Amino acid sequence: MLLFGKEPAKFIPQNQITIVRYPGESVSDKYLDIKDFYGNLFGLIDKADDYIKEHIQIASRLIPTRVPREEIPEYPLYAIRELIVNAVAHRDYFISGSRIIIKMFKGRIDYSSPGGFPAGITAKNILHKQASRNPILVKVLNQLKYIEAIGDGVDRIYDAVKHHPLKPALPVFKDVGNTVIVSLFGADMGKLQTEEKKIELNERQKKAVEYLNTTGRLTMKEFIGLCPDVNRKSLTRDMNRLIKLGLIARKGKGKRGLYYILL
């Protein structure tokens, strides 16, 4: 019924996900939206995942060595989905009147799953031990690729956070008796503006980067050809700034052997 039923909530009313969006950093009597999701487990996962991703910040940053801008989500997208999957797969379905509750705050998402940790699992050892309250659900979710590999979901969540370009805080797992709460922290999106200011390039520097992106190397003679109205001293300062920013490197020796490459 949970996996393939058309309307599981008729028979298992606690099979439900509620998502609440708050304007601030804590629970208040004011909220931006509240949404209830019903259906089989696959539908619940997909609907909740889509909703959360529609309501997080997506920024972009300019990478001088690439033509398209890189999109940066506020939270690692893999972690958002995997925490929904974990909540659905490992919750206790026998607690009457319960449901999965996901609270979206400014800079944080809290996932509350009915039932404490399975026997032998704690917030301290969750990265190193594994256990399942609902092994059949886990097996089927794994077979249908909703769980990529049994037992390493939490490791992958931590890895996704560690590899996020803006380095948000690591998630926190808490067992509060009959509920497990996982807090996923958002990145400081203001860092992107700071980064862009640091790598703001003038038109000559942009030409050099674009040329390097096409050819792979650039000599000073070629750079002078790209900017014929600019003196060599100014162009040398341009290249030195690109080196300082970590975008290019100087290779070779002497006026004839010197050239630049992208890093």
**Crossing angle (nearest 10°) for helices 203-215 and 232-244:** 70
* Domains defined along the chain, listed by start: 8-188 (3.30.565.60), 201-262 (1.10.10.10)
Contacts of 97 (CB under 8 A, 6+ apart): 14
User: What's the half-sphere exposure (Cβ side, CA atoms, 13 Å) at 23?
Assistant: 5
User: What three-state secondary structure class fits 21?
Assistant: strand
Residue 113 has pLDDT above 60, yes or no: yes
How much is the average pLDDT of 54-70?
68
Residue pLDDT, tens place only, 3-26: 999 999 999 999 999 999 999 999
8 Å CB contact between 155 and 128? no
What is the full DSSP assignment across 164-233?
STT-PPPPEEEE-SSEEEEEEEPP-THHHHHHHHHT---HHHHHHHHHHHHHS-B-HHHHHHHSTTS-HH
Residue pLDDT, tens place only, 234-250: 999 999 988 887 788 99
> Which has the higher per-residue pLDDT, 151 or 106?
106
CA angle 133, 39, 54 (to 5 degrees): 100
Contacts of 231 (CB under 8 A, 6+ apart): none
Residue pLDDT, tens place only, 180-192: 999 999 998 876 6
Report the distance separating Cα 217 and Cα 215, nearest Å: 6
Structure tokens, 179: 């509920």
Residue 198 has pLDDT above 70, yes or no: no
> Which has the higher per-residue pLDDT, 200 or 32?
32
